[in-house]
Structure 1
Amino acid sequence: MISSGGPRNTPPGTLTRLFFGALAHNKPDALQVKVKGAYTPISSRTVGERVRRVALGLQELGIQAGERVAIFSENRPEWAIADYACLTASLTDVPLYPNLPPEQAAYILNDSGAVAIFVSDATQAAKIAQVRDHCTRLRHVITFAASRHEGADFTLADVEQRGTAVDDEARRTRYRREALEVQPDDVATLIYTSGTTGEPKGVMLTHDNLYSNVMTSAVQIPFEGKDVCLSFLPLSHIFERMAGHYLMFQVGCSIAYAESMDTVPIDMQTVRPTIVLSVPRLYEKMYARVLENALSGGAVKKRIFFWARAVAERWAEEKLAGRTPRGFLALQYRIAQRLVFSKLQQRTGGRLRYFVSGGAPLAPEINKFFYAAGLVILEGYGLTETSPVISVNTPAAFRIGTVGTPMHGVEVMIAPDGEILTRGPHVMKGYYNKPEATREAIDSEGWFHTGDIGEMRDGFLAITDRKKDIIVTAGGKNIAPQPIENTLKTNKYISQAVVIGDKRKFPVVLVVPNWEQLEKWARIKNLLWTDRSQLLEMPIVHAKLEKEVYGKLQGLAKYETPKKVGILEHDFSVERGELTPTLKVKRRVIDKTYRDVIDRLYEDESVAA
């Protein structure tokens, strides 16, 4: 059975047409950037002028239409300007995650054939300098820094000046005409999948792939002309690229760039956004912080918090059932808001209308908590290959525990083995220079095979797990690890969790402690240690973490429940190859890296059920 979001709401289009149309908003604060501790606005007019001059400057450097230009930078206005300059100069840009090491950056530059690269600063330029001799097509390194530094051939200002020198009326007219001649099926960007297995693949997204996703998002999620968005997810990630960049510019939402990931809580209170896009990790941390504040307070504060949470959950159940809470419950909820939840709302700036979550599954427990607190999280689902949104919860169609209904123009079908398939204008053109991989991903009828397992529930799509992550035990039992891992990560003592058990008699789980919380508990228990490895050797610490793990896993089937817990000292990292740049766990790497720990957990298999 095919589920559809209904007909597409616009004819095919291009990002260049979208860009020129969005400039008509003439917003004085289209973008905002922090300068010397204060946010400074950048108008639509300034953005338009700078984009044109950079595009002309790239042409003056001899970069031809259709060539590839990479962007290796953290979020900042120059990222947006460079991207729109590439699009309007008929170039295909190639975003790189700013945390990529030199060798991985070199692979993408060579595979894409990039002839130029924008870098944010000397740090990123130094990475490129290490591998530049191996990047045979690369001709230009352009830095966003104010002055030229080692490893950079030009500053962005240098390129802009070259464009300004030829920016007369005739050239402006030609620039706009050629930009609008771009076709919907032309490739706009090459985005390399982070690859939990194998080498990254370049996803070819066309102008219309992204345009269709932007235009349907603009009507399915209500926007107001005065909206403000805080941008902090990497713009190299398709979720932020489409939703936090193209979509926000299209609907006239002011985009404020966070100074860094570390300053997001402060920037949120300064910018006071009405819309925030994030991956679940932000909500997990906020949830853990709220619980920690409540539990570390006195007895009265603790009782007030848990009373307020219970009231809010009853209120949320009424609302989610389509009923209006009345009478005594409504009065209790107003009191709970004033005593407890208003403080959480103030931490977001006090005027947030929606959180939007994507990139990974969000634990229903966390989503319901935020909903009950008066902070709505609209969870969606998609992949780089689908531009990215396949489905999303909206204010009009909202169900916790699902990723919403399909977008306009998008079809979804569940294959016999449970895999989610999708078809529509959002599906990529293919993998760059990988026709065989493209044929494996997109079948002859145009269905893209997502690799995710899911089901339709009254028109809402629910995700179970990644197809390749499903654990099949030696006894033939199928276990979906992600829901178990996401549940464990809601515990304040657990930072990371990975379930292991494929082809084994029973599952086990590796956990990384939240050291801030665990060390606080250890001090209360008067434990003595000089380094964390000593702490992990103590039986009382093992017992504590096992208690926390099993306390979260009540209700699992016996065969699903991890029989043993392995404790790791260090968080998984991108640098060690354990996480992708989008912070997804590379299970094969974890299995190999911690093989000794895993093998010890299975030494006595007599505990198997």
Structure 2
Amino acid sequence: MTISKLHRFPHDPVLAKLLHASKNKPDSAIVIHDVCGYEKSYSQLLGDVMRTRNGLRMQLPSSIIDEHGILRQETPYIPVLTRSGYEFLVAFFAIRAIGGACIPFGSGILPEEASHFLSITKATCILVGSNDCIGRAAKITTFINSQGGAAFTLPISHDAEPVLASNVDIDEGLQLSPDGPGMVLFTSGTTGLPKGAILPRNCFTNVSLAKPGEACINYRPGHWIGGARTLIMPILAGKELYTLGEKGSAKEVLNAFRTHRITQAAFTPTLLRNMRGLLINSDGQVPNEKRDEYASWFKALDGLKCSAGMIDHSTLKFWTGLTGLHMYIGYSATELGGLTIATRDPVTTISLIGSPIPNIKVKLSEGNTGEILVKSPFMLIGYVGEDDLTRAAFDEEGYYKTGDLAELRDG
């Protein structure tokens, strides 16, 4: 049974992309393959988004929701705790559908850590996925309430009646600013307490509709920028998505390539090294009788794309030699909302990170050398509750100070 009632989303750039992609796919086509057991179409995704959104409207305090059912912008933040890529997507889109900003939590988050995050964002509700996340969420709310705070949980829907994309529309009277808060990702905290980077609503929307047959893989958690991008952007582009849960191992990633036709993937240097270790024998070589088989797993890719660190020469040589594909490098950071600089030509030297992608401005603090400074429509708009840190993060021209050093070569 598919619900035929007309539903409306506010005019949010992410939701507009979601509907556009949904309406270009058959209603019954499976687009999300989740290792947690979910095989879902766009209509099933929309059904779960609607049910979760309605649950939020019923349970959140009426004082923080306006007459249009949209969160007031003083308190837009809602945390999400789940291991499932599908449940993450349901929660993310449901929060956006009430004008909110999603805060993904890692599944191993401690009660004290979660309490700090809820305190600085003034959030009270945690959207929770199934299985062991329920128990951890209960410990978090118990701890917060014992400290005099207020917190409650709400389940993320995963079995609602499907809603056809043709029965969902954008309410042009509910325009949400593309520059408003759309998501919060907390930094690692290696140089102090984690900072909540507020990414704008238009983050992740620099995608175009995919060609038929395109498929992506996600193996990183949604509370990392690389995980958030590889969950959200394929669905906004209409690509089939294979998600390996919160952290897919090198063995699981290789198995996904072996069993599915994956056309796009973003690798990390660590993953490439670990996958290499599984393919070579004791003398460090790929067995001759296996070389063609291993290479065939990656033949649908148009190239090997690597980010989240600099690749070493031996790993670069191994993968380009095995697959016959060129390597491309990308540079990104949590605060930048994703990919900012990338190589356009095949990489032959491991120190190259490329040139700014379209609509991104980059300069170096000392002219041809120094700190990388970036201005992007997708970068953070500030840190939650940290006005001084926010001001210090930008130069006088509004460029974000990355803290990374580079030099300009050959223009």
Q: Same fold (TM over 0.5)?
A: yes
Correspondences of 1:5-404 after superposition (within 5 Å): 14-27=13-26, 28-34=29-35, 41-62=39-60, 64=65, 65=71, 66=73, 67-135=76-144, 138-144=150-156, 156=157, 176-177=170-171, 181-211=175-205, 214-215=206-207, 218=208, 224-242=211-229, 244-258=230-244, 261-262=248-249, 263-291=252-280, 293=281, 295=283, 341-346=291-296, 348=297, 351-373=300-322, 374-394=324-344, 398=347, 400-401=349-350, 402-404=352-354
Which secondary structure does the structure 2 equivalent of 1:205 belong to?
strand
1:479-528, CA deviations, whole angstroms, 9 ceiling, x for partnerless residues? xxxxxxxxxxxxxxxxxxxxxxxxxxxxxxxxxxxxxxxxxxxxxxxxxx
- Between the aligned partners of 1:72 and 1:379, the Cα distance in structure 2 is 31
1:384-420, CA deviations, whole angstroms, 9 ceiling, x for partnerless residues? 11112111224x5655422222111111111127111
- Between the aligned partners of 1:400 and 1:341, the Cα distance in structure 2 is 25
- Between the aligned partners of 2:108 and 2:303, the Cα distance in structure 1 is 28
Asked if 1:444 corresponds to 2:393, the answer is no
- Between the aligned partners of 2:289 and 2:304, the Cα distance in structure 1 is 22
Contact 2:200 2:378 in 1 (8 A): no
Contact 1:25 1:44 in 2 (8 A): no
1:178 positional shift: 6.9
- Between the aligned partners of 1:275 and 1:267, the Cα distance in structure 2 is 12
Asked if 1:428 corresponds to 2:377, the answer is no
- Between the aligned partners of 1:349 and 1:412, the Cα distance in structure 2 is 33
Contact 1:280 1:357 in 2 (8 A): yes
Which secondary structure does the structure 2 equivalent of 1:426 belong to?
coil
Give the residue type in structure 2 aligned to 1:21.
Answer: H
Aligned residues: 375
Q: 1:100 to 1:35 in 2, by over 3 A?
A: closer
Give the residue type in structure 2 aligned to 1:126.
Answer: G
Give the residue type in structure 1 aligned to 2:213.
Answer: K
Partner of 2:4: none
Which secondary structure does the structure 2 equivalent of 1:235 belong to?
coil
1:369-395, CA deviations, whole angstroms, 9 ceiling, x for partnerless residues? 21222244432111111112111224x
- Between the aligned partners of 1:101 and 1:355, the Cα distance in structure 2 is 36
Structure with greater Cα Rg: 1
Root-mean-square deviation (CA, aligned residues, Å) is 3.1
1:264-290, CA deviations, whole angstroms, 9 ceiling, x for partnerless residues? 333332223222223221101122334
- Between the aligned partners of 2:270 and 2:108, the Cα distance in structure 1 is 17
- Between the aligned partners of 2:183 and 2:36, the Cα distance in structure 1 is 30
Which secondary structure does the structure 2 equivalent of 1:103 belong to?
helix
Which segments of 5 or more consecutive residues in structure 1 lack a partner in the other structure?
1-12, 145-155, 297-301, 306-337, 460-609
Contact 1:93 1:190 in 2 (8 A): yes
Q: 1:119 to 1:50 in 2, by over 3 A?
A: closer
1:250 positional shift: 2.6
Which secondary structure does the structure 2 equivalent of 1:390 belong to?
strand
Which segments of 5 or more consecutive residues in structure 2 lack a partner in the other structure?
1-11, 66-70
Q: 1:102 to 1:349 in 2, by over 3 A?
A: farther
Which secondary structure does the structure 2 equivalent of 1:121 belong to?
coil
Asked if 1:413 corresponds to 2:363, the answer is yes
Give the residue type in structure 1 aligned to 2:364.
Answer: I
Partner of 2:68: none
Q: Report the identity percentage.
A: 21
1:368 positional shift: 3.0
Which secondary structure does the structure 1 equivalent of 2:275 belong to?
helix
- Between the aligned partners of 1:43 and 1:252, the Cα distance in structure 2 is 11
1:207 positional shift: 1.1
1:452-478, CA deviations, whole angstroms, 9 ceiling, x for partnerless residues? 11122234xxxxxxxxxxxxxxxxxxx
- Between the aligned partners of 1:380 and 1:422, the Cα distance in structure 2 is 14
